[in-house]
Structure 1
Amino acid sequence: MNNHEIDYKLYGDDMQFVEVELDPQETVIAEAGSLMMMDDKIKMETIFGDGSKQGSGLMGKLLGAGKRVLTGESLFMTTFTNEGTGKRHVSFASPYPGKIIPMDLSEINGKLICQKDAFLAAAKGVTVGIEFQRKIGTGFFGGEGFIMQKLEGDGMAFVHAGGTIHERVLEPGETLRVDTGCLVAMTGDVDYNIEFVGGVKTALFGGEGLFFATLRGPGRVWIQSLPFSRLASRVFAAAPERGGSKGEGSVAGGLFDLLGGDRR
């Protein structure tokens, strides 16, 4: 294997975190800000890119970091290395309610394509790059962007998503339409494109957006029931400053809203 072999354990149900077990000198890489806790004797270091090409010189490191900028991520990632003599543990948490999906890249032909904000952590040696979609319509209307993240290697990687996660195995030629925000990840052999919903009334008043992600097998896809963008928009719309109710669950709250009262 080119990647470090790491063991892990998932905790929780809807607010999960993953605990990674590191042998001496083993390293895991993670998105900046995802750390929850770590044992003593673990060295934390900030690096350019994913650290998979440390010997490629300054230009190679800058190129790897520049690819992350294109996906909207930070220039930097964080490595956690066990510098002790025994096993040590480091834990990473999801940034919002949902699930963490462990992916063994060696079992999916060494490549996973995912939303730009889905990556959480991975064994050192996993390359975190960008995936350009072949068709330009995906770039203009894809919702999650023309550029998606690409994880390559033969080790473990962890991605997170909102709500409930559903995995679908697509047979050759089988097609699945997915809301663009609900697509979490797919294997590299899935054909991905954007398709117009169709019908003026459906597009304008359907409330489901103008475009679908069209996935065509063979391959595996992972779908999330609650994209963070959907959750955030509902919270934003319900905020009192935006005209939302101040007392959603009470009769008194509704009465105060009707009369324009202030309950402070």
Structure 2
Amino acid sequence: MNNHEIDYKIYGDDMQFVEVELDPKETVIAEAGALMMMEDGIEMETIFGDGSGSAGGSGLMGKLFNAGKRVLTGESLFMTTFTNEEHGKKHVSFASPYPGKIIPMDLSELGGKVICQKDAFLAAAKGVSVGIEFQRKIGAGFFGGEGFIMQKLEGDGMAFVHAGGTIHKKELAPGEVLRVDTGCLVAMTSGVDYNIEMVKGVKTALFGGEGLFFATLRGPGTVWIQSLPFSRLASRVFAAAPHRGGSSDEGSLAKGVFGMLNGD
């Protein structure tokens, strides 16, 4: 295997974290801010991009190119590596950013590539390449919100993806079609053909409350769907918060929810 082989354990139910066990010199990469805790003997390092060196070359320009691609997905230019520099096994844990589930994905069993929402990636074994996947129809992608740019995880190691609410894993048969709200689509294997389509019927688009676009997925392949995208949770909380007037109880509740989401 090209990737570091890591063992892991997931704790919790709705507010989960994943504990990764590192053998000596093994490394795991993660998004900035994902760290929950780590044992003594693990060294942190901030790097450009994902450190895989799988695209754009290994020189300075290649690293800048890989890091620059991450900006298009709304992520930081940098990622963090955690390496076990001791002789025994060490553990490092990464927490989910909001209520939901952590999905472990063995890329070697999923065709070596998984496409996921741009903010779904949490952590992975070093060697996993974190890139971008462009929607083919640029116009539909721009107006389709989450459907325009997605991340792609490539390699043969473990990757951990986070999603909100309950996660439903569905196997699509060849030619089977599934239409999903663009925000509810978490990830899919590379064999799934996907597109962003406009909802037919002006009345449905304006009064249906489901937006103007949805993702059309065609099998064969595996898809992961979330019941509560963070964008939907945030919009409902914002809509319920009193902007002008409103009772003090409602204001206190809204402040409490926002404080909880912000970690205050």
- 1:119-160 superposed Cα distances (whole Å, 9 cap, x missing partner): 000000000001112223442232214221010000000000
Alignment-derived partner of residue 259 in structure 1: none
TM-score (norm 2): 0.91
Q: Aligned with 1:240: secondary structure? A: coil
Contact 2:147–2:182 under 8 Å retained in 1: no
Alignment-derived partner of residue 18 in structure 1: 18
In 1, Cα distance between the equivalents of 2:123 and 2:147? 21
In 2, Cα distance between the equivalents of 1:117 and 1:242? 32
In the comparison of the two structures, how many residue pairs are matched?
249
Alignment-derived partner of residue 262 in structure 1: none
Which deviates more from structure 2 when the two are superposed, residues 18-27 or residues 207-216?
207-216
Alignment-derived partner of residue 258 in structure 2: none
Alignment-derived partner of residue 56 in structure 1: 58
Task: List 4+ stretches of structure 1 deviating above 6 A.
Answer: none
Equivalent of 1:232 in 231, 234, 247: 234
Q: How does 1:53-92 map to 2 (within 5 A)?
A: 53=53, 56-92=58-94
Post-superposition offset of 1:205: 0.7
Structure 1 pair 243/78, CA: closer, same or farther in 2 (3 Å)?
A: farther
In structure 2, stretches of 5+ residues that fail to align are 254-264
Would you say 1:43 and 2:43 are equivalent positions?
Answer: yes
Alignment-derived partner of residue 197 in structure 1: 199
> What letter corresponds to residue 67 of structure 1 in structure 2?
K
Percent identical among aligned pairs is 87
Q: How does 1:1-264 map to 2 (within 5 A)?
A: 1-53=1-53, 56-241=58-243, 246-247=248-249
Contact 2:147–2:196 under 8 Å retained in 1: no
TM-score (norm 1): 0.91
In 1, Cα distance between the equivalents of 2:65 and 2:204? 43
Contact 1:141–1:194 under 8 Å retained in 2: no
Structure 1 or 2, whichever has the larger Rg, is 1
In structure 1, stretches of 5+ residues that fail to align are 254-264
